[in-house]
Structure 1
């Protein structure tokens, strides 16, 4: 229905104090989108007139009354808050951009009809949040300002990700990063568009992980992966993997398809992102490559230079974990049978005799496997 109000009989007023001329005066308004505004209006008419009805309409020009659009009552969007005496104010709730324009007032009395020759202009603006700078290094100063486009919008409040912000000037912390909005106090339902604040900081919580994390066996794969907490995030080239202080890789992830004992050592990761030139390092991660006994060998102590002397045969090997079982074998020459003659890392012969001569072999074993030494010839001289 057209927004036009007729005064009931018991509310009609005789304007005894009104001037003897017709007139309507307005006060133009500037409103923020989403808020409510009252277009203040006063009207007058000669004596002996009763006001019967009032109406508001909207036009495209300040005094252009062509193609005026009557205001419709849309869910209380427009509300007449004036009276039938002298106040013709109009309230507009939840103001939108489409409400911007020129508003005209008309009224009907018992003797005449009057329409305003001029209009009240309603300007609709939006709050604009400004965060300076929008990208800052942790510890740098940030200034928040809110541009309304309307004069004296009232007390402004700020929100970060929906939470109230107390200070508009502050030293940036990483937890200050987020989406900022400003609003007029009491009109939080009509905030500005959000503006993002990015807070940059150097790498922290740098860590190095290894997969598998333990029991890395020779010949198997192993992968090192660096990670950190940083803004902006550390890119691949910003990582460095070091072994015993020597650079191994400049990628975030480094894989060894067939790990060898020589890869054993202490590894750490270093991260840089341009905010911190020195970068940060992770704790060291030890790599112990496990492998079965290899390079098994036999040594003699002392050299058997005469019969009847004591001889110790010592078996040694490289292994991780160390060999836990040693077994000794002797093969008489030539083409004799092989016999097990002892166990333990040291085979002691208290008094070397001709019967002890032969080829000796040591077998070292761990939980990962076993391996044999080369044969060692023990010759015994006669006649001593």
Structure 2
């Protein structure tokens, strides 16, 4: 008994034992903490080992539980006893909320165990990540704050979806959206709970798709679908479809059950979710050209000129509406004399031409049009030259030409005759005007008496014919 009292007195003097003292220490959840403990050795007293207990109140009674017996992972509690350094500390790894509480160390000295009167109270706190605001529009300023209740300064690192974050204040973009947490630097296990940053942004990647892809055949069903990436998502009323710049409908999908060639054109869609970014509210897709293909329709034949005359040129032109373009034009003729006989092939190409049309070219004409999507015939047109009309038009041309030539010939003869008559009259008058001994000719020439006979006038029939010819020529 006396030995125990001496031992107790010496431990008090050495500082191992004293009045009960409660020291507080704070640790962050997930970190490692050391409950510091020091003692002084006295001559004759040797601390052989230490034991740490967790003090808990059970039924209003304090109970001491050896930490090595508490349910915990291996190496969770680690004694740092070093008699040479007088170190009696306790290390707790990966601190959890269950580790919070009061701890006390016990010394084994000279085969006696004595508990210290210095108790340690461990408070366990958790890091708290704050993202402000938690929901931001693209372009808004966002700040990150890590809150800890422990007074000790701690170096903090930020992570977003497992990637390091360098700036704790930034302007939000859609790429900044995600789950954020803060952690003790290089101790990722000592981390906060994750918080989410929700970034609202205007639609991007607006795409208009057409189904089925490829050629669009008239009469088929075509579906237009507009899609985008946006937050919040674009609602049905936020999508709009346009054709050639004109409004078609609202909604993400638009179906044409029986598409018509007139619905060919340039289509695009726009998306809107109420978020404006850089002055843009409605975001447009790229345009898609839709060409509706269809077989030949509205096939017609035109004749130029409309009224054919034998000997003139005539052209027949075949026209139609089709997509894709016509592959072949083929011309056929039915004879007027036998309409029941099969049509006769007369040519190929868009235009059929006769340089010198004749009676044998008359008949009913039509063209046959073929494309990749089908073939069809035009309506029939008549090419005819009525016989009575032919005679009336040809006779005046022949008569008019003959009369004109005769008139020109007679007028030339009459002019020649008048010129000769005038020349002869002037010569005779000059000879009678010379006096005796006067002569304008060679003096050796002997003149005989000359009797001047009157020139015979033209017959009356000639004048009559001339007048008639001139009249006919003028009337023509």
Same fold (TM over 0.5): yes
Q: Work out whether 1:59 is the aligned partner of 2:62.
A: no
**8 A contact 2:49–2:81 mirrored in 1:** no
Output the CA distance in 2 between the equivalents of 1:170 and 1:163: 16
Per the alignment, do residues 312 and 17 of structure 1 end up closer, same or farther by CA in structure 2, a change over 3 Å counting? same
Of the three residues 66, 71, 75, the one matched with 1:70 is 66
CA distance in 2, matches of 1:52, 1:152: 34
Which residue among 351, 359, 375 is the counterpart of 1:354? 359
* Native 8 Å contact 2:303 2:316 kept in 1: yes
Deviation at 1:307, TM superposition (A): 4.1
Alpha carbons 2:23, 2:118 under 8 Å: kept: no
Partner of 1:37: 33
* Residues 185-224 of structure 1, C-alpha deviations (whole Å, 9 max, x = no match): 2322222122222222212232222234432222233332
Distance 1:120-1:230 versus aligned 2 partners, 3 A rule: same
The verdict on how the C-alpha distance between 1:53 and 1:23 changes in structure 2, with shifts beyond 3 A counting, is farther
Aligned mate of 2:287, from 266, 271, 284: 284
**What secondary structure, in the 3-state scheme, does the structure 2 residue paired with 1:182 have?**
strand
Contact 1:157 1:185 in 2 (8 A): yes
Is the Cα contact below 8 Å between 1:28 and 1:39 reproduced in 2? no
Superposed CA deviations along residues 269-289 of structure 1, whole A, max 9, x for unmatched, are 111122136211122111111
Equivalent runs, 1:372-383 vs 2, <5 Å: 372-383=377-388
Between Structure 1 and Structure 2, the one with more strand by share is 1
The residue aligned with 2:263 is 263
Q: Secondary structure at the match of 2:208?
A: strand
Q: How many residues align?
A: 370
Bigger mean CA offset, 144-153 vs 282-291: 144-153
**Secondary structure of 1:175 counterpart:** helix
CA gap of 1:278–1:21, structure 2 versus 1, over 3 A, is closer
C-alpha distance in 2, partners of 1:90/1:278? 62
Kindly report the root-mean-square deviation, in angstroms, between the aligned alpha carbons of the 2 structures: 2.9
Structure 2 counterparts to residues 298-337 of structure 1, below 5 A: 298-304=301-307, 306-333=309-336, 335-337=339-341
Q: Which residue of 1 aligns with 2:375?
A: 370
CA deviation after TM superposition for structure 1 residue 20, in Å: 10
In 2, the alpha carbon distance for the partners of 1:236 and 1:145 equals 38
**CA separation of 1:20 and 1:78: change in aligned 2, threshold 3 A:** closer
* Deviation, structure 1 residue 357: 2.8
Question: Which protein shows a greater Rg?
Answer: 2
Cα distance between partner residues in 1 of 2:267 and 2:129: 48
Q: CA deviation at 1:225?
A: 2.5
Structure (1/2) with the larger helix percentage: 2
Return the TM-score normalized by structure 2: 0.70
For the residue of structure 2 that corresponds to 1:72, the secondary structure is helix
Name stretches of at least 5 consecutive residues in structure 1 with no aligned partner.
1-13
Equivalent residues of 1:130, 1:145 under 8 A apart: yes
Could you tell me whether the CA contact under 8 Å between 1:201 and 1:232 is conserved in 2?
yes
- Cα 1:120–1:304 change in 2 (3 A) is same
Q: For structure 1, which segment, 323-332 or 348-357, has the greater mean C-alpha deviation from structure 2 after superposition?
A: 348-357
Structure-2 change in CA distance of 1:318 and 1:23 (3 Å): same
TM-score by length of 1: 0.86
